[in-house]
Amino acid sequence: MGEVYSADDLIGGGEVFFDMDPPARLSVFGDPVAHSKSPIFHNAALRAAGINVGYVRIHVPAEKAQAAFRALPKAGFLGTNVTIPHKAAALAAVDEADDYARRSGSVNTVAVEGERLLGFNTDGPGLVRAIHEEFSVDLRDLRVVLLGAGGGAGRAIAVQCAMESCERLVLVNRTLEKAQALAAELASSFQTDRLVGPVDRIQAIPFDETALRQQLAHADLVINATSVGMRRTDPPLIPSALITPNLMFYDTVYASGKSRLLEDATAAGARCANGLSMLLHQGALSFEIWFNRPAPLDVMRQALTSLP
């Protein structure tokens, strides 16, 4: 757990940040936020790039979120990252957001431009880079089964899949209505002449063994965007009997060690990866937005993977 500053430190004018060496000009907002790994790899990147700026964690409770975003320019900040639960609030707080952030309904990167706040979401593009790095394939060429399509991360990934027009997208969610609504919203991105066999290019299904078995027979990549797997005691997300060696598994959860899903996938001989690479690439993309230059990716990766 790292050092955490308060929203009031920022809203009060940010003096504490000016006095630091290097002065803090970047942050991550969250609640909770002490667990965030972002300062570790962003500070390593800033040092490596010779940029005299520090990156800090700021604990922002929901009732102070709007004031904290609006306080960024006066406190001399260049921007902030945003984590749970403020990504939707960040979209509401910014003056302008890019197309993907608007469609995904969330902002994870804010850039300050004068008095204005610009919003971006690097989670989806970060996932695209992570999938390419982990499996040497492009998301757009894959038939994707997305577990947890009803959450914030699930929505962001589904929108990214739609923008890439991936081969197929199956939205799986405990609360089926959320997946159905999202499938209806994204359907137009999948209305092409592309032939992928006797199945629809976008579908919504519940967490049901029979439905999952049918869909996994027409899939290449399974992404877990539920919060299940963060604790060692979590139950299996899908029955291990459904896991076959031809599938790839990407678990957005990046708690230390392998999640149950990835343990089962490894045992079945499937290729798998956890969410550290998505975390890395979404961070690298934030760096590129703030500084308009490539991020020192190897330095960031080294900082992230050397953590206990």
Left if phi > 0, otherwise alpha if psi is -120 to 50, otherwise beta: which for 286? Answer: alpha
- With CA atoms as reference, report the closest residue to 172 among 205, 214, 215, 202: 205
Q: Determine, following the binding rule CB under 6 A, whether residue 125 of this chain makes contact with ligand NAP.
A: no
Q: How many CB atoms lie within 10 A of CB 239?
A: 11
Residue 181: in which H helix or E strand, if any? helix 176-186
Instruction: For the CB of residue 265, give the shortest distance to ligand NAP in the complex, in Å.
Output: 16
Residue 124 as a binder of ligand NAP (CB under 6 A): the answer is: no
Pairing mode, if any, of strands 116-120 and 96-97?
Answer: parallel
CB of 183 to ligand NAP, least distance (A): 14
CA 90 to chain centre: 15
Q: What is the side-by-side strand order in the sheet with 24-30?
A: 4-6, 54-59, 24-30, 79-82, 109-113, 116-120, 96-97
Task: For the CB of residue 3, give the shortest distance to ligand NAP in the complex, in Å.
Answer: 22
Residue 254 interacting with ligand NAP (CB under 6 A): yes
Site string for ligand NAP, 265-294 (x = CB under 6 A): ----------x--xx--x------------
- State how far the Cα of 252 lies from the Cα of 247, in Å rounded to an integer: 16
Please report whether residue 296 would count as binding ligand NAP according to CB under 6 A. Answer: no
Q: How many residues does the chain have?
A: 308
Cα–Cα dist 300/298, whole Å:
5
Interacting residues with ligand NAP between 130 and 169 (CB under 6 A): 148, 150-154
Under rule CB under 6 A, residue 259 binds ligand NAP: no
Q: Which of 37, 64, 87, 178 is catalytic?
A: 87
As measured in angstroms, the least distance from the Cβ of 102 to ligand NAP is 18
Give min distance, CB of 8 to ligand NAP, in A. 25
> Binding to ligand NAP (CB under 6 A): which residues in 191-210?
207
CA distance linking residue 221 with residue 244, whole number of Å: 11
For residue 267, the SS3 value is helix
Q: Please tell me whether residue 190 binds ligand NAP under the rule CB under 6 A.
A: no
In single-letter form, the type of residue at position 29 comes to F
Rounded to the nearest 10°, the torsion over CA 284, 285, 288, 290 is -100
**Of 40, 51, 84, 199, which lies in the binding site for ligand NAP, with binding defined by CB under 6 A?**
84
Q: Which stretch binds ligand NAP (CB under 6 A): 8-16, 89-97, 131-139, 248-256?
A: 248-256
Judge whether 258 counts as a catalytic residue: no
175 binds ligand NAP (CB under 6 A): yes
Q: Of 71 and 157, which has the nearer Cβ to ligand NAP?
A: 157
Q: Give which of 105, 200, 103, 203 is closest to 145, Cα–Cα.
A: 203
State yes or no: residue 230 binds ligand NAP (CB under 6 A): yes
Kindly tell me which of 116 and 231 has the beta carbon lying closer to ligand NAP. 231
CB 86, CB 106: distance < 8 Å: no
Task: State which of residues 104, 226, 259, 286 lies at the interface with ligand NAP (CB under 6 A).
Answer: 226
Catalog residues that contact ligand NAP under the rule CB under 6 A. Answer: 84, 123, 148, 150-154, 173-175, 178, 207, 225-228, 230, 252-254, 275, 278-279, 282
Q: Give catalytic residues, as residue numbers.
A: 87
